[in-house]
């Protein structure tokens, strides 16, 4: 299927999806401020949206898991030193990149999809579109293609000139951290506790590696007993299964609110997921989203707009990389 036919089909489908969800965009129609603008590439790269949408669709058709990977890649980029594409950089003699930080190594994925999109964009609009903007748009398309909400992405981000592997451990929330610590990392980026609950809903897509949940499965709170909230046997209690994948919820390739339903039923996969129910404030939100998917979709879209504006570089700061894995 060519770009034009594909774009027409997706546009119609997207319109019908948004109409059925009654999502009234709670976002400004004009420029978003902070040097970003919804129409930033309208004149310089008018086919950008079509190229990215088609490329993400092709990748998703080849491997449905990639949708979760692209969304997670965007999240891991923005929560560490802001949305400036540092997670895409390879190691150099000057710095160790974020790709090989423990939280990302053998976990964060989808780099080759972003590289492929960048190559196509460079053919159409050389040295014009940042890798960071491509990642932000790809994450949005990944959510929409799995049945999730659409949100407008303001554009004009520039790519950072370095990466900081140590900052990953300091700034990126871990699924084994307390809710208070996770919330503190969010608030340090200008987000809030509602964003913690809403963006955790991204776990409706994808998988987690077994090593992240074994402590909970087989030695719950250091009791030596399994977590009573989980079914036993999800991951065998042996080292060989550490890299095995466990579904984050029952609909790993469909964006929905089953993540919250699972938590209400004491079946959240990660410690950080189930912890949301234990706190009165976040627990109330979890119960609300479990019974009102449309509210979740609307709030998720709003939180993604906030996330994608964290620590952006604009104007003469940073650069437009020619290749996403290296600075110019």
206-233 tens-digit pLDDT: 656 565 565 665 555 555 555 544 545 5
pLDDT average, residue stretch 58-77: 93
pLDDT average, residue stretch 175-202: 95
Bind-site residues for Ca(2+): 77, 80, 82, 86, 98, 204, 249, 252, 256
Q: What are the structure tokens assigned to 57, written together?
A: 């669709």
**Which residues are catalytic, by number?**
76
The C-alpha angle 109, 156, 78, rounded to 5 degrees, equals: 35
H/E stretch holding 296: helix 293-307
pTM confidence score: 0.84
Query: Is residue 285 helix, strand or coil?
Result: helix
**CA–CA distance, 224 with 242 (Å, rounded to integer):** 18
Bind-site residues: 77, 80, 82, 86, 98, 173, 203-204, 249, 252, 256
On whether the CB atoms of residues 206 and 142 are closer than 8 A, the answer is no
On whether the CB atoms of residues 149 and 297 are closer than 8 A, the answer is yes
- Cα 219 to its chain centre, rounded Å, is 30
**CA–CA distance, 107 with 68 (Å, rounded to integer):** 12
Distances (CA, A) of 107 to 38, 72, 77, 78, 169: 31, 10, 14, 17, 14
Bind-site residues for substrate: 173
Bind-site residues for heme b: 203
**CA–CA distance, 210 with 50 (Å, rounded to integer):** 37
Which tens digit of pLDDT belongs to each residue from 100-139? 898 888 778 899 999 999 999 999 999 999 999 999 999 9
Strand-pairing partners, residue 245, are: 209
pLDDT average, residue stretch 64-85: 94
Which pLDDT belongs to residue 112?
Answer: 97
- Relative orientation angle of helices 193-200 and 280-291, to the nearest 10 degrees: 40
| HSE of 296, CA atoms in CB hemisphere, 13 A | 28
Strand intervals (E) in the chain: 207-209, 245-247
């Amino acid at each position: 299927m060519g770009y034009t036919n594909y774009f027409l089909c997706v546009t119609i489908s997207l319109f019908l999806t948004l109409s059925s969800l009654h999502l009234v965009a709670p976002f400004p129609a004009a420029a978003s401020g902070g040097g970003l603008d919804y129409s930033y590439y309208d004149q310089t790269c008018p086919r950008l949206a079509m190229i990215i949408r088609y490329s993400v669709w092709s990748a998703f058709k080849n491997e449905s898991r990639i949708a979760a990977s692209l969304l997670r890649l965007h999240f891991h980029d923005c929560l560490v030193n802001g949305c400036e594409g540092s997670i895409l950089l390879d190691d150099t003699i000057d710095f160790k990149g974020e790709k090989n930080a423990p939280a990302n190594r053998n976990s964060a994925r989808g780099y080759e999809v972003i590289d492929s999109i960048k190559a196509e964009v460079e053919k159409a609009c050389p040295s014009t579109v940042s890798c960071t903007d491509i990642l932000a748009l790809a994450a949005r398309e990944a959510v929409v293609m799995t049945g999730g909400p659409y949100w407008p992405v303001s554009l004009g981000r520039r790519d950072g000139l370095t990466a900081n592997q140590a900052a990953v451990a300091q700034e990126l929330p871990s699924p084994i951290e307390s809710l208070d610590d996770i919330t503190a990392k969010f608030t340090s980026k200008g987000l809030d506790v509602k964003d913690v609950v809403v963006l955790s809903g991204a776990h409706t897509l994808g998988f987690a590696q077994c090593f992240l949940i074994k402590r909970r499965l087989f030695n719950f709170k250091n009791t030596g007993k399994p977590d009573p909230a989980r079914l036993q046997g999800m991951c065998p209690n042996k080292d060989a299964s550490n890299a095995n994948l466990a579904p984050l919820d029952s609909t790993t390739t469909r964006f929905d609110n089953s993540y919250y339903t699972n938590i209400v039923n004491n079946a959240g996969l990660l410690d950080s997921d189930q912890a949301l129910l234990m706190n009165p404030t976040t627990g109330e939100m979890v119960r609300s989203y479990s019974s009102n998917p449309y509210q979740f979709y609307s709030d998720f879209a709003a939180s993604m707009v906030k996330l994608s504006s964290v620590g952006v570089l604009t104007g003469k700061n940073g650069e437009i990389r020619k290749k996403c894995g290296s600075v110019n």
